[in-house]
Each structure stands twice: as C-alpha cells, then as structure tokens.
Chain A
Amino acid sequence: MKSYPSLTRITEADIDEIALGAAVLGTGGGGDPHIGALMAKRLIRLHGPVRVIGVNDLADDDIVPPVGAIGSPSVVIERPMADDELTRALAVLEEHTGRRPTVVMPIEVGGGNSMVPIAAAAVSGLPILDGDAMGRAFPENQMVTFHLAGYEPGPVVMVDHLGNDVVIHAIGGARSERIARAVTVEMGGSATAIDYVHMGAVVRECAIPGTLSLARHIGRILLDRDADPSHCTPVDRLCEALGAFRLFDGKVADLQREVRGGFTRGVAHLAGLGADKGGTLRLDFQNEMLLARVDDRPVAVTPDLIAVLDLVTGRPITTETLRYGARVTVIGLPAHSWWRTERGLETAGPAYFGYDVPWTPVEELARQARPASQEENA
C-alpha cells in the first residue's frame, strides 16, 4: 500500500470522506455510516473539531475506552441513539472504574462504528485515536486485536436509549459476547457499548495504527471530483492506492438472504461482465462479506477483506442493500498481520464462520489465478 496523509484533527468536512472509506472497510457489514455521520457532524458543529492522536503518541497511563454501537444496523436506521447515550456510557465507565478516560478509540473502523467514537470524542472533548482493534468490521465482540493478544474485555458498559445501563463482568471474551448480545436484544436491538478498555501501553501494542486516516484516504479517492473519468475508474484508482486486488466484475444474478443465529447470512452469485464474462463469482456473507469463490476456486477468504463496490462509482454496497441486477466489482485486501496469525485465523478465519475452505492469503490466491503472461502487468 502507498503511504497516505495522517489526520491530526477531524472537522465537519472530513466526516463524509471518513464515512465513505469506513463503508469500504466495513466489507458489506458494520452498518451504513450515514446516521453516525449526521450525528458526528452535528456534535462537531456544536462542540468543535476533534483532535486526533496517533497510536505511538499514547502515554502508558492513558485510559482508552473504545466506544461503539452494538446490535442490528437495521435497528439503528429506524431508531438512532438518544442524545445523551455517549456521555452516559463514558460517565458509567468512570463511575464504575473510578478512573477518567483520556482518549476514545474506535473498536472497529468498518461501517457505522467509525463514526460513533468520533461523536463521543466531540461531545466529551477527548481526543480520538487514529487506530482501531479490527482494521475492518467483524460481527462479534471478541474479534478484536486485544483478544488476539490475550487481553480480556474487562467490564463491558452498555447503555440504552431509555436511560438504562448495565455493566457486565464476564469470565472471557466469548461469554462476554453472548451476554452482551442478550442485553442488546432486551435493550431493543441496539445499544451503546464500551468494552476492552485498556491503558495506553496495551493499546500501543494492540491497536491497528492509522485506520481512521486510511478511511479518510479511501473516501477522498472515491469522492475525487478532479480525477479524469476517462483515464481510470474510481475502482481502478482505489485498487492502485491500496494495493487491492480486483477480483471480479459482475452482475448479481442470484441472491439468497436469511436469518440464522442472529446474523444476516446469505449467498450471492455474480455473473461475470467484461473481462470476467462467462465466469461466476459466489459470495458468502454473514453481515460481512466473508468468502469469494470464482468458479468454485477461492479468491479471497476471511479475515482478508472483501468489498463489493458499484462498478461505475466505486461506492461500497452492503450485504443488506445488495440487490439482484446490481453491477459491481469485488475487490480483495490483505487483512492486518494480527489476523494472519494462528489465533487470528482461529478467531475469524473461514472455519470459525463454518466455511470448509482453507485460508490462503488473498495476494497468493491472486498470483495463482493469474496466467504467467499477465504477471508483469499486475
């Protein structure tokens, strides 16, 4: 990947760019950042810009709560959070632990949870960390780098839109996830949550650095109105800047979606367009896009990132808005090295999601798929 500029502060004008990039990193899940973006813009307008600090600038004794929404994106779009939810969540944490938070961070940069911590930073006056614990979006609470490094979620603070709050002390990440999910259902399907609160030293070790800046960078590329459209498409520009692999161009020819175990699970079949004409891509998703296979051969496998973009505009498409007939490009991106470890693959690899395929790095699959003659052009 080519280098990109780092954010030092976030103003109202940055929000739409970050939100768009976050939707790409959401790999089809994580919820549409639109509502979170409206919320963040309003709070920045009321309280001023948000200061951004890099992962390496954290002090050992910083207290860094990741703030996010937990629950169903489809509830969030019908019932956005109450105005005081974020400040209540931070207050409950402080009251419970007796320590005052100093920096907020995103737990997942993908989707709507990129925006919630920016809003929390704006309303609390705290700086935000340019880094997160996923580098993408994932559906379960323990799918974070803290868990991969062996840290526990600690007390989980949950507050709802009516003024209720719950603090969970669980015996481990997986239990914490199950209890939090049950509380979320009781709280009406969506709530504000803080978990994996750690000291600066731990966050320096675990956070994936630069991911908010990366989201902004992606958003800028897709929104670039000065780019010459006849030269290369937004998708081409994005692939070049990120070192992403353009896996397949196609049209959604068949789409099945169902609920199983609390997830939007499904399969989409894409009929190839252009250079991919005649081929078929099968896309498996569970809130996020998790597995892409071209004619039965895997081309990208979780935890590597799979994003579905509009063929013309490059705008990301979520698993909930994917429609029959949509013309899309599927791109693949290497996951952060945290996910490519044994524990990373155990936590969020294909087997965990019930797919009987081995994990192979997306760049390796791309090399295998490409005839030798094209390799020099790649």
Chain B
Amino acid sequence: MNQTYRLGIDVGGTNTDAALLDVDGQVVKAVKVPTTEPTADGVINAIDRVVSLAGIDPGTIRYAMLGTTHCTNAIVERRGLSPVGVLRLAAPSTTSVPPLEGWPEDLRAVIGKHAYVVGGGYEVDGRLLSPLDEDAVRSACRAMKGEVEAVAVVGVYSSLREDQEQRAAEIVIEELGVPVSLSARIGALGLLERENATVLNAALMKTLRSMAEGFLRALEARGITAKPYFGQNDGTLMQLSYALEFPVLTIGCGPTNSIRGAAHLSGLRDALVVDIGGTTTDVGVLVDGFPRQSATASVIGGIRTNFRMPDILSVGLGGGTRVRDREGEVVLGPDSVGYRLTSEALVFGGSVLTATDVALLMGGATIDGVAPPETDRVVGARAWEAIRELLEETIDRMKPSAAPVPVILVGGGSIVAPEELAGVSELIRPEHFGAANAVGAALGDVAGQSEKVATGVDRRAAREEVAADAVHRACLAGADPSTVEVTSIEELPMAYSDAHSVQIRATAVGRLA
C-alpha cells in the first residue's frame, strides 16, 4: 500500500504552521510561515513549503486538519462577527434576566439589538411551560429582517425536548432564510451560558465559513483531495458540515492542540506542557494523553459560556518579552515586541532588551548565525533569575501534586526557558517543538457528546439512550462506527426538582473513518 499522510495546519494570530505526519504518526516535516489576511494565502504558503520540503505528492495526503484560533480572536477582538437575532422561548418566565444581559457593551453593539423572549419552553419535569407562540416568533422575525445574518433559538429545558426550537427554526428560515443555531445542539443545562454560547455560535458562522472556504480553496489549488477536518476544544475533530454548524466549538482548540501535540512529540501521557510563544507562556496539564479540563465556567471575551475548556494558566513571558531595569530591580514585560523580535531585539541589531537576549547571554541558548548580545551581565543575571522564578512558580501552581513532574517545552519562544527548573523531574524539548499546535491538529480522533435530563425512574435506559446519542454524534462527526467507544458517562442529580431527576452526560470517541 502506498504511503499516505495527515496534514495538520494551525492558523494563529502571528504564524501559520503546517505539519505533515505519516500513517504511523511520525512527523515528516513541519514549517512556519506568517499568517495572512485573508488566511487562505498563508495556508497555501504553508502547504507549499511543507509539501516541497517533504518531497511528496500532494495527492497522497489523506486527511487535512485545520486548527485555528480565528473564531476565538474574532470574539476577543470583536471583529468579523455577524449581527445575531436572539429568540428565547420562555415567556412569561426568565424575563428577570433578558438575553445578552451582562454582555460587554462593545460586543453587544456588534451582536445588535434584536433579542426577544417569546412564549415557549418546558418545565424541569418535562411539562409544557408555555406553548410556542408562533405569531410572536413571526413578528420578531419581521422586526429583525435585514438586520441580522443569523438567529439563535434558545428554549428553556430544550435538552428535555427540542421540538419547539426546531419549529421556531422552521419559521425563522421561512421568514428570513438565514442560518439558525439551536441551543439544544450546543449543550448543557444553564440557560444563560447556553444562550451565550448559541449566540456566539450564530455570530461565528460566517467567520468560519469564509475561513473554511479559504482552506478548501487552498487544498483544491494544490491538488489535495483529502477530507478536511476542524479541531475542537476537547482535542477531537469535526468534519466540515459539523464545523459550519458549530463554529463555537473551535474556540479552545489552540491550547488543546498544543498540549496534544506536545504529548505526541514527547511520547509522554502525563506531564506539564509549557508552551512559550512570543508574548505569553501557557501552562497546561496532560493527564493520560488529554488536556486536563477547567473546573469552572469558561469566560471568553467577557462572556460566560458552558464549554469545558482546557485548564490553562497564562503568564506574560515569551521570546519577545521586554526586560526593563528599574533602579536595580529587573521587571519582565508584560509587554512584548511580538513578531518584531527579529528587528527590535538587541541580538538582531535592535535596541530592546528581550527575554530572548537574556537567554542567549545567560542561558547558553543559541540561534544560528547570531552572536550573544553585548549588554550588562548584572542585569542579564537578574533577568535570568526572574525568568526562572516565574516559570518555576507557574509550573508549581499547575502541578497535580508536590512531586517533581516531567515538563514538555514547546512553542517558538521556548529557548527562553532555563535547562533546569526546580520541581521538574525532566525537561523535554521534543523535535518539531515549534509546531506542536499543527501536530496536535493532525492527530485528532473524532468525538460526540450528548446530554439529557432523565426524569423517569429507569435510569439505565436513560443512560443507554444518552450513550447511543453520543455514539451517533461521533459518527456524524466522521468517526468509523466500528471504532467508536463511549469514554465517559457522568450523572449529576438535581436537588428539589424530584427524586428521580438526573442530568446524564456522555462522550464517545472514535478513529477517523
């Protein structure tokens, strides 16, 4: 059988990385090129470089995976988001907290003013709260006509029954013909967090579509017939049609891919991953091959959502971090020269003392064709000590226990890390450390998640139903049905409502078909 390849692409704010993996998962080549606007040109550049360096036929690339922080950045920077109409099916209930309450003003201004609470919804025990007020849905549609590009439909307890959300979506499509995002498909209990996530999802549909189209054009332009996939928060992949429907699921994939890539490159399954970029260091925890998830509600761009995101601690230390001497006390950053490192750092002939300069001066790091900078060694020594202390403290805060842990160092800025750190049993700098994100993107399995509130007494049947739905969703996402396994089933009892109500949540994961 001919050799085939997996192509992983990571489109970051500064760089676009590409990694080519063979069928055994070995990295054949990895490259880094500047990110462009629109992103497709950078993706084409990265593909061209990695394919030509590897000397392979693009037709032998079987899967192409895109990991991107594009949607995350769109939310954080409030750009490229669509105005969204919000239809909450809940009246007369829930009106004490209307949709978009608590959103930052600037983001609210982008989303627009079309938020409506109309008759609808269910009670915790599955009774009807209120029948769907179809006339109100229609008049809301008419009010928002021409002023929204997508609509979010959010019903109270739609995880029990989603028929009202589906009916409302039919009406919206009839009246407006714009894409609709249904909250029952987005996730968990917790109306406001689910509503926020559904609104963001609707707002990102166009962003992801244009990015996906660019990716597809880039693949087509280079004769790559591979099936395209997109990385999501939990380190698994979704196929194109799914990604277009659920763009918000990409918002945590950056750190996840970096942790998964680091695991793969190092061969470790339990370790800390320290990803040092140009401006920040992100420390995550690898537990049995997957990123440890954050226990608290995730806040993105000032919005509380219900996504499980990787548990990441970020500090302001990167290759471009500015180092200042303030009357004998050395201060690190928090600002960075960022992508201007190669023109502004001392070592590249600039005038700014950066963490990279300090590492070359004190840490014995080297960059090909560059001599260590000439600067004050006393300041250098203090700065080197400050870098060490910051990294040691950050690592200590994320460690699962007091015992020394292996640390995997990845990211373009990782030369600023000292060779030995307290509390670290082993410091691993794997090959291709600069492209861990793209490697992580290329690795993905596909997963499906499902969640239901079970109100009957037959909990086993309910568990089986939720598990079957998770498997179904994994297959929808592109998994080979024969490899899909249910990886977790959680039950959370609900106090007061009645003794037999539990919330059941299942995840299934399988290999790509």
A-side residues, CB < 8 A to B, are 34-35, 38-39, 41-42, 71-75, 77-86, 119, 161-163, 181, 184-185, 188-190, 251, 257-264, 273-274, 277, 287, 310, 312, 315, 317, 320-321, 323, 325-326
Q: Is B377 an interface residue (CB 8 A)?
A: no
If A74-B189, A80-B191 touch, whether A325 touches B400 (CB-CB below 8 Å) is: yes
Q: Is the CB–CB distance between A79 and B92 below 8 Å? A: no
How far does the alpha carbon of A261 sit from the alpha carbon of B495 in the complex, in Å? Answer: 9
A273 partner, pick from B96, B193, B402, B492, beta carbons under 8 A: B402
* B94 lies within 8 A of A79 (CB): yes
**Quick one: closest B residue to A37, CB to CB?**
B102
A162 x B493 contact (CB < 8 A): no
B residues whose Cβ falls under 8 Å from a Cβ of A: 90, 92-98, 101-102, 121, 123-125, 127, 129-130, 156-157, 189-193, 287, 292, 295-296, 304, 397, 400-402, 492-503
Q: Closest CB-CB distance, B394 to chain A, in whole Å?
A: 11
B91 to chain A, nearest CB (A): 8
Asked whether, in the complex, the Cβ of A185 is within 8 Å of the Cβ of B96, the reply is no
**What A residues does B130 contact at CB under 8 A?**
162
Q: Which residues from B are CB-within-8-Å of A315?
A: 296
Nearest CB on B from A314, distance (A): 13
Answer whether A39 and B499 are a contact pair too, CB < 8 Å, given A257-B493, A323-B295. no
Interface class of chain B by DSSP: loop
Chain B residues with CB under 8 A of A72: 124, 494-497
Complex Cα gap A39–B101 (Å) = 9
Q: How far is the CB of B357 from chain A (nearest CB, A)?
A: 25
CB distance from B86 to the nearest CB of A (A): 15
B197–chain A nearest beta-carbon distance, Å:
14
Contact of A39 among B96, B123, B296, B493 (CB under 8 A): B96
Q: Is the beta-carbon distance between B191 and A79 smaller than 8 angstroms?
A: yes
Please determine whether B97 and A80 come into contact, CB atoms closer than 8 angstroms.
yes
What is the minimal beta-carbon distance from A22 to any residue of chain B, in angstroms? 17
Report B-chain residues with C-beta under 8 Å of the C-beta of A71. Answer: 496
Q: Which B residues touch A161, using CB under 8 A? A: 92-94, 129
Contact status of A251 and B94, CB under 8 A, knowing A38-B192, A264-B493: no
Complex formed: what's the CA distance from A84 to B156 in Å? 18
A116 nearest in chain B by CB position: B96
Write 28 A-B pairs (CB below 8 A) sorted by A numbering: A35-B192, A38-B97, A42-B98, A71-B496, A72-B494, A74-B497, A75-B496, A77-B192, A77-B193, A80-B93, A82-B93, A161-B92, A181-B496, A185-B497, A188-B123, A189-B494, A251-B401, A257-B492, A258-B493, A259-B499, A259-B500, A262-B496, A273-B401, A273-B402, A315-B296, A321-B296, A325-B295, A325-B400
> Could you say which residues of chain A place their CB within 8 Å of the CB of B193?
77
Q: Is the pair A78, B295 in contact by a Cβ cutoff of 8 Å?
A: no
User: When the two chains form the complex, which single residue of B95, B96, B292, B495 contacts A119, counting CB atoms closer than 8 Å?
Assistant: B96
B199 CB to nearest A CB, Å? 15
Chain B positions within 8 Å of A258 at CB level: 493
B190 touches A78 (CB 8 A): yes
Alpha-carbon distance A257/B502, docked complex (angstroms): 11
Inter-chain contact B497/A189, CB cutoff 8 Å? yes
A74-B189, A185-B497 given; A42·B124 CB < 8 A: no
With both beta carbons as reference points, the residue of chain B lying nearest to A192 in the complex is identified as B96
Given contacts A325-B292, A326-B295, contact A80 B498 (CB under 8 A): no
Report A-chain residues with C-beta under 8 Å of the C-beta of B498. 185, 189
A321 touches B189 (CB 8 A): no
Across-interface contacts of B292 in A (CB, < 8 A): 325
Among B96, B190, B498, residue most surrounded by chain A Cβ atoms (within 10 Å): B96
Q: In the complex, which residues of chain A have a beta carbon less than 8 angstroms from the beta carbon of B397?
A: 312
Provide the bound-state CA to CA distance between A218 and B497, in Å. Answer: 31
Give Cα A75 to B497, complex, Å.
8
Most B Cβ at <10 Å: residue of A71, A80, A312, A323: A80
Which partner residue on chain A sits nearest B500 by CB separation?
A259
In Å, the complex CA distance between A326 and B295 comes to: 7
Judge whether B95 and A83 touch: CB under 8 Å. Answer: yes
Which B residues lie within 8 Å of A259 (CB)?
Answer: 493-495, 499-502
- Output the residue of A39, A74, A163, A321 with the most chain B CB within 10 A: A74
A80 proximity list for chain B (CB < 8 A) = 93-94, 96-97, 191-192
Bound-state CA distance A181–B101 (Å) is: 30
**Cα distance, A317 to B102, chains bound together (Å):** 22
Known contacts A78-B190, A83-B96, A321 near B295 by CB under 8 Å:
yes
**Interface centre among A39, A71, A72, by most B CB within 10 Å?**
A72
Interface centre among A73, A78, A257 (most CB of B within 10 A): A78
Tell me which residues across on chain A come within 8 A of B90, comparing CB atoms: 79
Q: CB within 8 A of B124: which of A38, A188, A260, A262?
A: A188
Q: Which residues of B contact A83 (CB under 8 A)?
A: 95-96
Which residue in B92, B124, B125 is a CB contact (below 8 Å) of A163? B92
Alpha-carbon separation in the docked complex, A279 to B123 (Å)? 44
Closest 5 CB pairs of A and B: A72-B496, A161-B93, A83-B95, A259-B493, A189-B497
Chain A residues lying within 8 Å of B295, measured Cβ to Cβ, are: 317, 321, 323, 325-326
Q: Chain A's nearest CB lies how many Å from the CB of B225?
A: 43
**Known contacts A77-B189, A185-B498, A162 near B124 by CB under 8 Å:** no
- Write out the residue numbers on chain A whose beta carbons fall within 8 Å of the beta carbon of B190: 77-78
| C-alpha gap A208/B49 in the complex (Å) | 71
Query: How many angstroms between the C-alpha atoms of A86 and B495 in the bound complex?
Result: 23
Point out the residues of chain A lying under 8 angstroms from B189, CB to CB: 74, 77-78
Q: Which B residue's beta carbon lies closest to that of A260?
A: B499
User: CA–CA, A323 to B157, complex, Å?
Assistant: 24
Output the least CB separation between B35 and chain A (Å).
33
A119-B96, A188-B123 known; A320+B496 contact, CB < 8 A: no
Q: How far is the CB of A30 from chain B (nearest CB, A)?
A: 11
Whether A79 contacts B93 by the Cβ 8 Å rule is: yes
Task: Assess whether B304 is in contact with A162, with CB atoms less than 8 Å apart.
Answer: no
Known A-B contacts A35-B97, A79-B94, A326-B295; A320 and B492 likewise in contact (beta carbons under 8 Å): yes
Provide the residues of chain A in CB contact with B95, threshold 8 Å. Answer: 82-84
Most buried by A among B98, B129, B493: B493
A121 to chain B, nearest CB (A): 14
Whether A39 contacts B97 in the complex (CB less than 8 A), given A71-B496, A72-B496, A320-B492, comes out as yes
With the chains together, A321 CA to B295 CA distance in Å? Answer: 7
Q: Which chain B residue has the least Cβ–Cβ distance from A264? A: B495
Measured CA separation A25–B20 after assembly (Å): 54
Residues of B within 8 A of A81 (CB): 93-94, 96
Nearest chain B residue, comparing its CB with the CB of A162: B92
* Sample of 9 more A-B contacts, CB < 8 Å, known A75-B496, A77-B193: A38-B97, A42-B98, A74-B494, A77-B191, A78-B156, A81-B96, A82-B96, A188-B124, A258-B493
- Which of B93, B190, B292, B492 lies at the interface centre, i.e. has the most chain A CB atoms within 10 A of its CB? B93
CA distance A258 to B500 in the complex (A): 10
Q: Which of B92, B97, B124 contacts A75 (CB 8 A)?
A: B124
Task: Quote the shortest CB–CB distance from A88 to chain B (angstroms).
Answer: 11
Bound together, the chains give a CA A260 to CA B191 distance in angstroms of 26
Q: Evaluate whether A189 and B401 lie within 8 angstroms (CB atoms) in the complex, with A262-B496, A320-B492 already known.
A: no
- With a cutoff of 8 Å between Cβ atoms, the chain A residues found around residue B296 in the complex are 310, 315, 321
